[in-house]
Amino acid sequence: MSSPSHDTDTPPPPAHVAIIMDGNGRWAKARGLPRVAGHQRGVDALRGVVEAGQEMEIDFLTLYAFSSENWKRPPTEVDDLMGLLRLYLRRELRELHRNGVRIRFIGEWRKLAPDIVKLIEDAQNTTDANTGLTLVIAVNYGSHREIVEATRTIAAAVADGAMTLEDIDEASFARHLHTDGIPDPDLVIRTSGEQRLSNFLLWQAGYAELVFMDVLWPDFTKQSLQQAVDEFHQRERRYGASSG
């Protein structure tokens, strides 16, 4: 699928957009439906946003699909979410690959059920050489744990003599995070009206613009994404410097 060129008057999109997809349960409850119905509609929204990201020529789109804290939910809901992940990978891989999307997973996904791990490995291997949008899916991900793991790895390298204390800086630390090779997000969107990061990309989002939207995730559309990007373009990104 070819992407349209940007208008000369239209600013380029943020290179990396990350989204905390929130509100599936509330969407279902408001309609008297089981929570799984909200998650199912959330998958439809996910599909539309990936298509919109391609059309808008966003380079990286990261989606918070399942946090390490989500294991605290009722087992039936966790099973439903894992089932939807299986279904998404089986149904969408061919189309994503055909459209040049590169798929990458972050988080402790290797601890999931063996069949899901195999699906994830297949998705990453199949699309690894693609040069279009990079779709990053955070599954069994928690930023605190990610940072602790990176710290342990670096400490072990120093103890073994593979690194020195002088080797440790922001760049070397970032290389030990799950997002190694992925640029930091420019824009982080959270749906459903909640205004917190919920342990998502805490290191990486240090200078991201945060946009909180009242729309519930199943109702999130291409227009919602465009609205968030438009707000992003209204921000002055100073990275700690004073404004001119």
pLDDT tens by residue, 103-138: 999 999 999 999 999 999 999 999 999 999 999 999
Distance CA 112, CA 243 (A): 46
Structure tokens at 180: 């190694």
Residue 14 CA to residue 232 CA, distance in Å, equals: 8
Instruction: Return the pLDDT at 2.
Output: 43
Q: What is the pLDDT of residues 79-97, one digit of tens each?
A: 999 999 999 999 999 999 9
Q: What is the pLDDT of residue 243?
A: 60
Helix, strand, coil shares of the chain, percent, nearest 5, are: 50, 15, 40
At 104, list the tokens: 């990458």
Question: Catalytic site residue 99?
Answer: no
Q: Is 70 a catalytic residue?
A: yes
**Residue tagged active-site, from 59, 70, 99, 199:** 70
Which residues does the chain have with pLDDT short of 70? 1-8, 237-244
How far apart, in whole angstroms, are the C-alpha atoms of residue 135 and residue 64? 11
8 A C-beta contact, residue 115 and residue 172? no
pLDDT at 10: 79
Question: What domains sit in the chain, N to C, each tagged with a CATH number?
Answer: 16-234 (3.40.1180.10)
Pairing of strands 102-106, 134-141: parallel
Amino acid at 22: D
7, 9, 22, 180: which one is catalytic? 22
